[in-house]
C-alpha cells in the first residue's frame, strides 16, 4: 500500500500542521489569502543546501550565518530535529517539510523555509527503485512585492536507479505544476545528475519548462563522476549574484543566489 504523501508545516507558537496535496491546480495563488509578500523589493536571497541529515558539526552555524538573511532556504535531507525546527520557526514565518522517510527519531526530506506564508503547497514523493527509500519534492507559492506569485520547487531527486525512467518520472508531476503557473519560478535542490543521461534528462526538462540555469563563476558544487549534483533553475527573474559556499558542515556545499525580482531577463 502506497503511503500518503503530505507536508508538515512549522510556524512559531502553533502546533505542527499536516498539509495534504491539493486536489487540483485551480488553487494556485487562491488557496489562501495572499497575506504579506516575501520581503526584498530589490533582492530576493535564496539558499539551497543538502544538509546531510545534520550529521556533521557546524551545520547550525552555517545556517545561522548564511540562512538568517535569506528570504528562502531550500534544504534537502533535512531532519526535523528540535534544533532545526527551532531555527526555522525563530527566523522564518513558515517552514514546510515533506517527510520522505522516517529515521529512528525524526523524518527526513526536503524542507523550505520562507519569510512569508505560502499560499499554495504541494508535497511530492518518489520511491527509489533499488533501495526502496523515498525522495521528496515540495512545490510552494509565495506572493512577491510586485503582486506576482513566485513558485518555488525544492527537489531531492532519486539517486539509485537503472536508466532514467524513474528519474524522469519524478520530474513529471513537477512539470505539471510548472505548466499551470504563469508567474516567476525557482526550481532548485539536489538533482543527483551524476550521469550524462540524467543530466540530459534534467536539461531537457528545464528547456521544456522555459527554465534558465544559474551559473556559478567559482563553481565549488559537490560533484559525482565529475558532474555537479546541485542546481538552481529559474524563470521570470534576473540573477543578481550567485556563489557556492565551501564548508565541511555537509557532504554538499550550499548555493547562495540573489535574484532581482522586478527585472526578468530577456530571452
Distance CA 126, CA 177 (A): 16
Say which residues have a Cβ less than 8 Å from residue 2's Cβ, sequence separation at least 6: none
pLDDT in tens, 151-185: 999 999 987 656 688 888 899 999 999 999 999 99
The size of the chain, in residues, is 267
- Got the DSSP string for 241-257? EEEE---SSSSS--EEE
pLDDT in tens, 186-234: 999 999 999 999 999 999 999 999 999 999 999 999 999 999 999 999 9
pTM (whole model) above 0.85: yes
Mean pLDDT of 84-106: 88
Mean pLDDT of 113-142: 84
Domains assigned to the chain: 38-260 (3.60.10.10)
pLDDT category of residue 1 using cuts at 50, 70 and 90:
very low
Neighbours of 52 (CB within 10 A): 16
Amino acid at each position: 500500500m502506497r503511503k500518503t504523501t503530505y507536508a508538515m508545516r512549522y510556524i512559531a507558537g502553533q502546533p505542527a500542521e499536516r498539509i495534504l496535496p491539493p486536489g487540483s491546480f485551480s488553487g494556485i495563488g487562491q488557496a489562501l489569502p495572499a497575506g504579506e509578500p516575501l520581503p526584498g523589493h530589490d533582492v530576493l536571497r535564496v539558499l539551497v543546501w543538502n544538509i546531510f541529515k545534520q550529521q556533521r558539526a557546524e551545520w547550525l552555524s552555517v545556517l545561522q550565518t548564511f540562512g538568517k538573511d535569506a528570504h528562502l532556504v531550500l534544504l534537502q535531507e533535512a531532519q526535523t530535529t528540535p534544533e532545526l525546527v527551532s531555527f526555522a520557526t525563530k527566523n522564518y514565518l513558515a517552514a514546510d517539510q515533506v517527510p520522505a522517510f522516517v529515521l529512528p527519531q525524526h523524518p527526513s526530506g526536503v524542507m523550505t523555509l520562507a519569510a512569508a506564508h505560502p499560499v499554495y503547497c504541494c508535497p511530492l514523493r518518489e520511491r527509489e527503485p533499488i533501495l526502496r527509500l523515498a525522495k521528496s519534492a515540495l512545490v510552494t507559492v509565495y506572493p512577491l512585492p510586485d503582486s506576482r506569485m513566485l513558485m518555488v520547487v525544492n527537489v531531492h531527486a532519486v539517486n539509485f536507479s537503472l536508466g532514467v525512467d524513474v528519474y524522469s518520472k519524478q520530474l513529471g508531476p513537477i512539470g505539471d505544476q510548472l505548466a499551470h503557473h504563469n508567474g516567476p519560478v525557482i526550481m532548485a535542490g539536489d538533482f543527483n545528475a551524476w550521469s550524462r543521461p540524467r543530466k540530459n534528462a534534467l536539461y531537457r526538462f528545464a528547456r521544456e519548462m522555459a527554465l534558465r540555469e544559474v551559473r556559478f563563476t567559482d563553481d565549488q558544487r559537490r560533484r559525482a563522476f565529475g558532474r555537479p549534483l546541485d542546481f538552481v533553475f529559474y524563470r521570470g527573474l534576473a540573477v543578481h549574484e550567485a556563489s557556492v559556499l565551501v564548508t565541511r558542515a555537509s557532504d554538499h556545499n550550499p548555493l547562495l543566489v540573489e535574484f532581482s525580482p522586478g527585472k526578468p531577463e530577456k530571452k
